[in-house]
Amino acid sequence: MAVPARHVLIIGGGLAGPCLALSLARQNIRCTIFEIRPTRSDAGGSISLAPNALHVLDRHAGVYGQMKALGHTYRRIAAYSEDGSKFGEIAVSEEEKGEDAYPAIRIMRSDMHKVLMDAAEEAIEKLITVKYGAKMSRIEETEHGVTAHFEDGLSVEGRPLS
């Protein structure tokens, strides 16, 4: 009996969807990202990424270097009162690891999204497919798997990997 090819359906092409797809592609698992928007979006302001998020972007998605180059890195944050007196300071990276520790990064959401989607769309061996304008209307689950139904009439079936 042949082992079925792995293919993961990801609903949503925001930040988490392409990050998951990149991680799975690095394990040779095909993915299709279904995104409701008709094209890429550059919406959103700046966000801060904690060291643990950067670890994931580095080890699992392979895009840490690009994020670091586009963002502002920092290892400590401080809080000040209105009159300028300092309340305190907090380390945001593991200082005992020195330069090997991931810093925190402040980056524009649109820049982060572009890096993730570029990487997903350029994935080696076309393991990742992105379908824009795909609005899921419902999901149907049975003992044999799931079926995602989309407003344009497309239905995509999936089954457990066991």
Q: What was the pLDDT predicted at 145?
A: 82
Tell me which fold the domain 7-158 belongs to.
Answer: FAD/NAD(P)-binding domain (3.50.50)
Q: What was the pLDDT predicted at 107?
A: 96
Q: What was the pLDDT predicted at 95?
A: 64
Distances (CA, A) of 116 to 22, 84, 92, 93, 150: 8, 39, 24, 23, 24
Domain spans, the chain: 7-158
Q: What was the pLDDT predicted at 123?
A: 74
Distance CA 11, CA 129 (A): 12
Mean pLDDT, consecutive 10-residue stretches, the chain (162 aa), reads 67 91 90 90 86 91 93 91 91 70 92 91 80 93 88 85 59
Q: What was the pLDDT predicted at 88?
A: 92
* H runs (alpha helix) in 4-80: 16-25, 51-59, 64-70
Q: What was the pLDDT predicted at 137?
A: 95
Q: What was the pLDDT predicted at 3?
A: 46
Q: What was the pLDDT predicted at 99?
A: 64
